[in-house]
Amino acid sequence: MTRSTPRTAAAKGVQFSTSPVLAVTLPAWRSRVVLFVLFAAFLTLIGRALWLQGISTDFLQKQGESRYARTLELPATRGKITDRNGQVLASSVPVKAVWAIPDDVLEAPKEKLRDLAKLLGMSEHNLRKKLDSDRNFVYLKRQVEMETVDKILKLKIAGIETRKEYKRFYPEGEAMAHVVGFTNVEDAGQDGMELASQKTLAGRTGSRRVIKDRLGRIVEDIESIREPHDGKDLALSIDSKIQYIAFSQLKEAFEKHKAKAAGIVVLDARTGEVLALANLPTYNPNNRALLTGAQLRNRVLTDTFEPGSVMKPFTVALALETKRATPNTTIQTAPGKLTIGKATIGDAHVHGLLTVAQIIEKSSNVGTAKLALQMQPQEMWDMFTSVGFGQQPKIGFPGAVAGRVRPYKSWRPIEQATMSYGHGISVSLIQMARSYMIFARDGDIIPVTFRKIGEPPAGQRIITAKTAREMRAMLEMAAGPGGTAPKSQVPGYRVAGKTGTAYKIVGGQYVKKYIASFVGFAPVSDPRIIVAVMVDEPSNGQHYGGDVAAPVFSAVTANALRALNVAPDSPVTSIIIPADGIQESL
Catalytic (active-site) positions: 309
Residue 442 to residue 472: CA distance in whole angstroms:
9
- Cα separations in angstroms, 204 against 21, 192, 484, 517: 86, 21, 55, 44
C-beta separation of 501 from 586 below 8 A? yes
Taking the CA atoms of residue 256, residue 298, residue 184 and residue 396 in that order, the dihedral angle to the nearest 10 degrees is: -150
* Coil/strand/helix, residue 26: coil
Taking the CA atoms of residue 483, residue 489, residue 493 and residue 497 in that order, the dihedral angle to the nearest 10 degrees is: -50
Residue 102 to residue 111: CA distance in whole angstroms:
17
C-beta separation of 97 from 165 below 8 A? yes
Residues 359, 460, 533: CA angle, nearest 5 degrees = 50
Cβ neighbours for 209, distance < 8 A, ≥ 6 positions apart: 69, 70, 71, 72, 221, 222, 223, 225
DSSP character at residue 181: -
Residue 552 to residue 255: CA distance in whole angstroms:
12
Residue 501 to residue 432: CA distance in whole angstroms:
14
Report the DSSP beta bridge partners of residue 91: 169
> Using DSSP, how many helices (H) and how many strands (E) does the chain show?
23, 21
Q: Are strands 81-82 and 234-235 parallel, antiparallel or unpaired?
A: parallel
Q: How far is CA 385 from the centre of its chain?
A: 26
Peptide bond into 407 cis (omega under 30): no
Residue 332 to residue 78: CA distance in whole angstroms:
63
Residue 256 to residue 240: CA distance in whole angstroms:
24
Residue 418 to residue 437: CA distance in whole angstroms:
23
- Taking each helix axis as running N to C, give the angle between helix 550-563 and helix 240-256, from 0 to 180 degrees, rounded to the nearest 10: 160
Q: Of 180, 149, 184, nearest to 164 (Cα)? A: 149
C-beta separation of 369 from 339 below 8 A? no
Residue 237 to residue 272: CA distance in whole angstroms:
9
Q: Of 518, 558, 312, nearest to 429 (Cα)? A: 518
Q: How far is CA 335 from the centre of its chain?
A: 49
Amino acid at 403: G
Q: Are strands 496-506 and 160-169 parallel, antiparallel or unpaired?
A: unpaired
